């Protein structure tokens, strides 16, 4: 390789530099917010490439796929290397990659579908209904709850029974039927060639465990494994990492125990805290400088997290100059006053030269942003919301995708049902009958599609009202597969839309125009894929557990970001507004009831929130909540504010003035 272009010493502090250039082996960087952990990981990748490591030999696991993309873009600026050959992304997307190559080894077929939570719920409902288990006599969990229980079991690597006894004790009398449902559900997924999100990981781990040749192969390939946000990994992910790394492999993980905020989803902070137990030889680096935030913001953050008993004490110092402005504490009359304050302040900051994409509004729960969204819309301030119903989870997008999924995976029962129920005149009962008929056709079982959908579907008996649309539906499916192969994604979308979906959509939805535009956007996005399977996987991964929700990454678009605190992890902005900082909202009422541990996790979330701000931080809370279920509710400021010394912030008196 040519001489390095980067002066590593100049761009990194001593600890960062030591980690970046660490010799092979295991390395842990544990440090507070904004101390350059992600930067360290990025430079480590660059340094490895600089030293002759091939991109293929690196596996980079990140919290979102976007984060991986951005890190690799950065790497590209630093060194000359083809980072597209490097495996980078979330655990789910990497798992998906493994399984696309190897699913047949697990009894699945090629081209399995990925189910999102809604699909999962549909399939579970079917399983429960056909299980022969009497679910009427006692309170049986709904499909969503079953999904949660199974997911928790997967992610914590614990038996379902234990999850029920510890987390869902009111179901302790029905452990057995629930366990039976789980088994039936697992079988059903194989039968319909579908995986849910957790399967992308559980099945990957199983693949490596049951096939030593694959384990050996991937261990050899991934000479270097790197993981960001390690504090929020769960047992399953930890196991995945350990398997791929091997006993004496090269592993670098970075994280901050004070930012562990996903225990409700099975994340386990002991992965980072006990790193040493598993890797006794590991080198540990600590960074005590914060590069992100001005001292005023950092002082408040440090004071807040200092109230947590379960936290490793860190002495984080800002290396930035004082700004001369304390974080603002802003009490407001109500939610709409809060929205108008935030909007007003955004405009003022914009006048001062702060770009809109350097500002963000953070909140505990998605619905906290509703009033603000309306206010920003009415004032014409562009914004992007990175939470709530994601683009790909919208009904019309999923409708169209179900055609594509079924055309490729002809055992995909969930997609089949979704599709045929769109046909006017086809209800639940006839849909089930049609599915039974379909299963008896050869095409449903053949590896490659020969012949036409229409030849098989049209002879089936359908309700009289549906006859004509049924035929049209069958012809549309024909267009999606040509000579046994699917056409390109944009061609598929076009055929589905022109063939049948435009009519369905106009019958089903009020705001068909908006939805039509969405589908055009979907089609544009799809044009970068030639393989529909790859496109569909991408859709599923985006709509799943990730934060990203935009089909085309218009990241540079000048817009304010609205996001939940959970999804703001790892990001930074010049100005951060935290809204609805009232007790019961943030901390969440449920967490308060739970236990001290619940409050401590909320406090970590608050720490994550305030440490996103580089220069300015606004802590807003309305005095009255007009939207409370039982009428107007007088609010108390969040305990995360009232427990702090008032010297750390400055109270802004804007009530009545805005
Ligand atoms: P978080 O805990 O929030 O994920 P982090 O520890 O990953 O934060 P980074 O996002 O890597 O921190 O860094 C925070 C900011 O500080 C970034 O803008 C980064 O570029 C900058 N930074 C980090 N280290 C240095 C350094 N040595 N010199 C200059 N800037 C730095
Ligand atoms: Mg980071």
Residues sharing a CB contact under 8 Å with residue 370, sequence separation 6 or more, in sequence order: none
Task: Return left, alpha or beta for 188; rule: phi > 0 is left, psi -120 to 50 is alpha, else beta.
Answer: alpha
- What ipTM did this prediction achieve? 0.99
Question: 13 CB less than 6 Å from ligand 1?
Answer: yes
Question: 62 CB less than 6 Å from ligand 1?
Answer: no
Predicted pLDDT at 387: 54
Q: Per-residue pLDDT tens for 622-635?
A: 998 887 777 788 88
Residue 295: phi and psi, rounded to 5, are -55, -35
Predicted pLDDT at 357: 94
Predicted pLDDT at 543: 58
Query: Half-sphere exposure of 215 toward its Cβ, with a 13 Å CA cutoff?
Result: 16
The protein residue whose alpha carbon is closest to atom 4 in ligand 1 is 570
Question: 358 CB less than 6 Å from ligand 1?
Answer: no
Predicted pLDDT at 544: 53
Q: Per-residue pLDDT tens for 387-431?
A: 555 667 778 989 999 999 999 999 999 999 999 999 998 988 999
Predicted pLDDT at 553: 44
What helix, strand, coil percent values describe the chain, rounded to 5?
A: 55, 15, 35
Q: Per-residue pLDDT tens for 187-214?
A: 999 999 999 999 999 999 999 999 999 9
CA distance 635 to 619: 15
The protein residue whose alpha carbon is closest to atom 2 in ligand 1 is 33
Predicted pLDDT at 138: 67
The protein residue whose alpha carbon is closest to atom 13 in ligand 1 is 36
Residue to probe by mutation, ligand 1, list 33, 38, 262, 360, most atoms within 8 Å of CB: 38
Is residue 51 classed as helix, strand or coil in its secondary structure?
coil
**48 in Cβ contact with 225 (< 8 Å):** no
User: Is the pTM higher than 0.90?
Assistant: no
630 token code pair: 């039982």
Question: 8 CB less than 6 Å from ligand 1?
Answer: no
**605 in Cβ contact with 258 (< 8 Å):** no
Which residues of the chain register pLDDT less than 50? 1, 545-547, 549-555, 658
The DSSP symbol for 510 reads S
Ligand 1 atom at minimal distance to the Cα of residue 13: 27
Predicted pLDDT at 137: 66
Q: Is 316 exposed, middle or buried (0-12, 13-18, 19+ CB in 10 A)?
A: buried
Predicted pLDDT at 545: 46
Predicted pLDDT at 344: 96
Is residue 266 classed as helix, strand or coil in its secondary structure?
coil
The protein residue whose alpha carbon is closest to atom 11 in ligand 1 is 36
Residues sharing a CB contact under 8 Å with residue 416, sequence separation 6 or more, in sequence order: 402, 406, 431, 434, 435, 438
Q: Ligand 2 centroid to 34 CA: how many Å? A: 7
Ligand 1 atom at minimal distance to the Cα of residue 42: 11
The DSSP symbol for 254 reads E
Question: 291 CB less than 6 Å from ligand 1?
Answer: yes
């Amino acid at each position: 390789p040519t001489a390095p272009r980067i002066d590593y010493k100049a761009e990194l502090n001593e600890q960062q530099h030591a980690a970046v250039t660490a010799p092979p082996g295991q390395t842990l960087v544990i440090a507070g917010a904004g101390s350059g952990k992600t930067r360290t990981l990025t430079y480590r990748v660059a340094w490895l490439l600089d030293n002759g490591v091939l991109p293929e030999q690196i596996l980079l696991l990140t919290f979102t796929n976007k984060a991986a993309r951005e890190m690799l873009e950065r790497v590209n600026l630093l060194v000359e290397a083809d980072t597209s050959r490097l495996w980078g992304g979330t655990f789910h997307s990497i798992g998906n990659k493994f399984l696309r190559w190897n699913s047949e080894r697990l009894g699945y077929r090629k081209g399995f579908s990925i189910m999102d939570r809604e699909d999962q719920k549909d399939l579970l409902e079917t399983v429960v209904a056909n299980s022969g288990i009497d679910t009427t006599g006692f309170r049986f969990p709904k499909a969503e709850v079953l999904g949660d229980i199974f997911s928790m079991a997967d992610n914590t690597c614990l038996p379902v029974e234990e999850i029920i006894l510890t987390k869902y004790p009111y179901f302790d009398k029905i452990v057995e039927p629930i366990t039976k449902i789980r088994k039936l559900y697992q079988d059903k997924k194989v039968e319909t060639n579908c995986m849910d999100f957790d399967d992308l990981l559980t099945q990957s781990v199983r693949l490596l465990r049951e096939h030593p040749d694959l384990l050996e192969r991937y261990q050899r390939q991934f000479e270097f494994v790197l993981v960001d946000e390690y504090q929020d990994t769960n047992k399953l992910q930890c196991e995945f990492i350990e398997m791929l790394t091997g006993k004496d492999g090269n592993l670098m993980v970075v994280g901050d125990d004070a930012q562990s905020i996903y225990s409700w989803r099975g994340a386990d902070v002991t992965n980072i805290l006990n790193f040493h137990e598993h890797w006794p030889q590991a080198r540990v680096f600590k960074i005590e400088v914060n590069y992100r935030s001005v001292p005023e913001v950092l002082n408040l953050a440090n004071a807040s997290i200092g109230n947590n008993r379960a936290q490793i004490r860190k002495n984080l110092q800002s290396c930035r100059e004082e700004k001369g402005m304390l974080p603002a504490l802003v009490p407001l009359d109500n939610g709409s006053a809060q929205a108008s304050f935030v909007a007003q302040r955004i405009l003022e900051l914009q006048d001062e030269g702060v770009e809109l994409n350097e500002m963000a509004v953070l909140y505990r729960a998605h619905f906290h942003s509703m009033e603000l969204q309306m206010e920003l819309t009415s004032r014409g301030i562009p914004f992007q919301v990175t939470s709530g119903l994601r683009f790909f989870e919208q009904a019309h997008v999923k409708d169209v995708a179900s055609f594509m999924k079924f055309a490729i995976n002809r055992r995909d029962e969930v997609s089949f049902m979704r599709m045929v129920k769109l046909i006017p005149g086809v209800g639940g009962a006839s849909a089930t009958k049609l599915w039974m008929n379909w299963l008896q056709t050869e095409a449903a079982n053949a590896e490659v599609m020969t012949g036409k959908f229409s030849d098989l579907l049209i002879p089936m008996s359908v309700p009289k009202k549906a006859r004509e649309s049924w035929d049209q539906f069958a012809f549309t499916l024909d267009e999606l597969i040509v000579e046994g192969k699917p056409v390109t994604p944009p061609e598929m979308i076009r055929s589905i839309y022109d063939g049948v979906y435009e009519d369905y959509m106009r019958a089903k939805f009020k705001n068909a125009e908006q939805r039509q535009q969405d589908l055009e956007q979907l089609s544009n996005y799809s044009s970068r894929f030639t393989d529909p399977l790859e496109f569909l996987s991408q859709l599923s991964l985006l709509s799943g557990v990730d934060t990203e929700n935009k089909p085309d990454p218009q990241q540079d678009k000048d817009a304010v970001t609205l996001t939940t605190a959970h999804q703001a992890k790892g990001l930074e902005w010049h100005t951060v507004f935290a809204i609805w900082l009232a007790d019961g909202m943030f901390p969440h009422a449920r967490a308060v009831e739970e236990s001290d541990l619940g409050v401590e996790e909320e406090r970590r979330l608050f720490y994550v929130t305030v440490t996103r701000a580089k220069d300015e931080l606004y802590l807003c809370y309305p005095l009255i909540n007009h939207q409370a279920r039982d009428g107007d509710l007088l609010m108390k400021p969040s305990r995360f504010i009232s427990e702090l010394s008032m010297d750390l912030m400055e109270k802004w008196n804007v009530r009545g003035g805005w």
